[in-house]
C-alpha cells in the first residue's frame, strides 16, 4: 500500500482519536496594576504568564467523569462524579470537589446540558506551576472547562465567582492587556509591553498564598466613594504600561502603592518588609501574599542575593514570567 493510501486508511482512526482526546490549555496571570479597584470599574493592566494549566479529555470505560488534577507532576486531587446528577461518588477532597461541581453545573446550564450528557470520560489536568503561587489555578480551570463546553468563559466566570474576570482575559490572551468590567461586561485591549528595561524587572514570591475570594469580599465592604481613586489607578495602569524609562516605571509603581495603601489602610509592602531595598517594590493582586514585582538597576545576582537573604528563594525574571 502506498504512503498516500496509508494516510487515507488512517483518517477514520485519527478523527476518532481527536474526538476522544481533546486538549485545552489556558494561561496563568498577574495583575500589574489595578488590584482591588478593577472591581469598581477601574482600568487594570494585566499580563498572561508563561505558566498555565492544560486539560485533556479521554474516553473511559467507567460511568461518569473520572477527574485527576496534577501540579508539578504530582496528583493533588481526584474525583469520580456522575454527570447527569453531578453526584460526587468518590473524592480526595470534598471542598475542592464541591467547587468543581459548581463550575461543571454552571457550564452545563450555559451549554444547554452538554456536560450532563457526557459519560465514560476521564479528564486529566496539569498545572505547571506551584499551586501556592496564585497564578490562576481556578481561572485556567474555568477557561478550559469553557473551551470544552463551548461557552463564553466570562459568563461561566461570573456564574461562579465575584472576581473581576481579568484572570479569564489573561487565560485566553497572547500578550499583555488592559482590562475593565462594568455590570459584568468585560472590556479588553491589547497592549505592547516589553520595555527596554524588562531585564530590570523581577517577580518574587512571598511564600504564602492569599485567598482571592476573601480579599474580594473584604474589599467589597469598603463603603467610601472611590471615584477619584478609580481615575488615578486607571491612569497609572496606562502610565505603567507605557513608561519610557525604568525611573518613570518605578515612580508609577510607588504612586500606585500609595493610592491602594491609603484605601486599604495598610503599609505598602516595601515600607513594611523591604525598606532597605535599593529598587522599588509593588504588591500584585491581594496585598500581603502571592507575588510582588521588584525593580533594580543592579544585576540580577544582586537582587537574588537580597531576597535570598530574606528567605524568599522564588525569584523569576520578567522574560521567564511574562508572555509577550
Query: Which range, of 19-33, 39-53, 147-161, 178-192, averages the lowest pLDDT?
Result: 19-33
pLDDT for 224:
67
pLDDT at 1 over 60: no
More confident residue, 162 or 221: 162
Confirm if 32 and 194 have CB atoms less than 8 A apart.
no
pLDDT at site 20:
55
Percent of the chain scored above 90 by pLDDT?
82
* The pLDDT of residue 5 is above 90: no
What's the mean pLDDT when you consider all of the chain?
91
Q: Tell me the mean pLDDT in the region 2-13.
A: 46
Q: How many CA atoms does the CB half-sphere of 25 hold within 13 Å?
A: 9
pLDDT tens for each residue of 205-240: 998 765 565 555 565 556 567 899 999 999 999 999
pLDDT digits (tens, 9 = 90+) for 214-223: 555 565 556 5
Torsion over CA: 24, 27, 28, 29 (sign) = negative
Query: Does pLDDT of 4 surpass 60?
Result: no
DSSP secondary structure of 7-72: HHHHHHHHHHHHHHEEEEEEEEEEEEE-TTGGGGT--EEEEEEEEEEEEEEEE-SSSSEEEEEEET
Integer Cα distance of 151 and 174 in angstroms: 20
Residue-level pLDDT at 286: 78
Q: What is the pLDDT of residues 90-125, one digit of tens each?
A: 999 999 999 999 999 999 999 999 999 998 999 999
pLDDT computed for residue 211 by the predictor: 57
Q: Which domains does the chain have, with CATH numbers?
A: 3-190 (3.30.230.10), 198-321 (3.30.70.890)
| Banded model confidence at residue 56, pLDDT cuts 50, 70, 90 | very high
Amino acid at each position: 500500500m502506498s504512503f498516500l493510501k496509508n494516510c487515507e486508511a488512517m483518517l477514520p482512526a485519527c478523527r476518532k482519536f481527536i474526538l476522544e482526546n481533546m486538549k485545552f490549555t489556558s494561561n496563568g496571570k498577574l495583575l500589574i496594576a489595578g488590584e482591588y479597584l478593577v472591581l469598581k470599574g477601574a482600568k487594570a493592566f494585566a499580563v498572561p504568564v508563561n505558566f498555565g494549566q492544560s486539560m485533556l479529555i479521554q474516553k473511559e470505560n467507567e460511568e461518569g467523569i473520572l477527574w485527576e488534577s496534577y501540579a508539578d507532576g504530582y496528583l493533588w486531587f481526584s474525583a469520580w462524579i456522575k454527570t447527569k446528577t453531578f453526584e460526587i461518588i468518590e473524592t480526595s477532597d470534598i471542598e475542592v470537589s464541591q467547587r468543581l461541581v459548581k463550575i461543571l453545573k454552571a457550564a452545563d446550564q450555559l451549554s444547554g446540558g452538554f456536560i450532563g450528557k457526557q459519560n465514560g470520560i476521564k479528564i486529566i489536568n496539569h498545572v505547571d506551576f506551584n499551586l501556592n503561587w496564585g497564578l490562576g489555578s481556578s481561572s485556567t480551570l474555568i477557561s478550559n472547562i469553557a473551551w470544552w463546553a463551548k461557552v463564553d468563559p466570562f459568563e461561566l466566570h461570573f456564574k461562579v465567582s465575584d472576581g473581576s474576570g481579568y484572570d479569564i482575559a489573561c487565560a485566553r490572551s497572547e500578550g499583555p492587556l488592559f482590562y475593565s468590567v462594568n455590570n459584568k461586561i468585560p472590556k479588553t485591549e491589547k497592549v505592547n509591553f516589553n520595555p527596554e528595561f524588562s531585564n530590570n524587572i523581577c517577580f518574587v514570591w512571598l511564600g504564602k498564598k492569599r485567598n482571592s475570594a476573601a480579599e474580594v469580599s473584604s474589599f467589597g465592604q469598603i463603603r467610601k466613594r472611590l471615584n477619584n481613586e478609580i481615575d488615578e489607578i486607571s491612569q497609572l495602569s496606562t502610565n505603567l504600561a507605557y513608561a519610557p524609562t525604568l525611573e518613570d516605571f518605578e515612580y508609577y509603581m510607588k504612586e500606585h502603592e500609595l493610592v491602594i495603601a491609603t484605601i486599604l489602610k495598610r503599609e505598602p509592602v516595601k515600607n513594611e518588609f523591604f525598606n532597605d531595598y535599593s529598587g522599588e517594590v509593588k504588591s500584585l493582586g491581594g496585598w500581603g501574599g502571592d507575588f510582588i514585582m521588584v525593580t533594580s538597576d543592579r544585576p540580577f545576582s544582586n537582587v537574588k542575593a537580597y531576597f535570598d537573604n530574606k528567605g524568599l528563594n522564588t525569584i523569576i525574571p520578567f522574560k521567564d514570567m511574562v508572555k509577550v
